[in-house]
Chain A
Amino acid sequence: GAVVSQHPSWVICKSGTSVKIECRSLDFQATTMFWYRQFPKQSLMLMATSNEGSKATYEQGVEKDKFLINHASLTLSTLTVTSAHPEDSSFYICSARDGADTYGYTFGSGTRLTVV
């Protein structure tokens, strides 16, 4: 089946630094990738949608200058949390949509970000 690799699985960073999270589709071309944020015991909240080669579309309330998303190729999207603060600590999950399958939608394994 389709596999999405997300890296790193966890990261601890100091307040004020930036952190980059990678999301790769291993065996399919992902025309669209999605980034979610999940707080403990809560549902997934969509942060942004990115299409290969174009700017990401951010959900209302998500700071585009703080959460930089790049989708430069059909197999890789990155989320950079800039000038991280403790309130940015969360579980970040990507998902990728197979360009050849309207309903082919696979999640990554998530990244636990802790800002200290």
Chain B
Amino acid sequence: GENVEQHPSTLSVQEGDSAVIKCTYSDSASNYFPWYKQELGKGPQLIIDIRSNVGEKKDQRIAVTLNKTAKHFSLHITETQPEDSAVYFCAASFTGNQFYFGTGTSLTVIP
């Protein structure tokens, strides 16, 4: 089955700096890669996703890049704000079927 690894497990940045979270996957058949933000005691919220037919996608301060050859994808958050503090999960899926989640990254933005 698919195996998704995520790094780092914790990340602290100063407000206004950028944050980068990286994930690798093992199954070359995976073609959908969403990123979720989870706040304490709540369910995950989709923040951005990318499909395997593109290499990069951007939505305001958030961007995701995908390298299919190397089987890794990354989340980039620019101009971080305290409200960006949360746990972020990456996931890999084949056509929106079963999702395989990374182990999560706890991001802290220091004011």
Pair from one complex: yes
CA–CA, A91 and B87, complex, Å:
15
Contacts of B106 in A (CB 8 A): 41
The tally of residues in B whose CB lies under 8 Å from a CB in A reads 21
A86→B36 CA distance, assembly (Å): 29
For A105, the chain B residues whose CB sits under 8 A away are 34, 46, 96, 99
Using CB atoms and an 8 Å cutoff, list the residues of chain B in contact with chain A. 32, 34, 36, 41-46, 49, 51, 89, 95-96, 98-99, 101-104, 106
Other than the known A43-B102, A103-B96, A107-B36, what 15 A-B pairs have Cβ atoms closer than 8 Å?
Answer: A6-B43, A34-B98, A34-B99, A42-B104, A43-B104, A44-B89, A44-B101, A102-B95, A103-B49, A104-B96, A106-B46, A107-B43, A107-B45, A107-B46, A109-B42
Q: What are 26 pairs between A and B in contact, CB < 8 Å? A: A4-B43, A41-B106, A42-B103, A42-B104, A43-B89, A43-B101, A43-B104, A44-B89, A44-B101, A46-B98, A46-B99, A93-B43, A93-B44, A95-B43, A103-B32, A103-B49, A103-B96, A105-B34, A105-B46, A105-B99, A107-B43, A107-B44, A107-B45, A107-B46, A109-B42, A112-B41
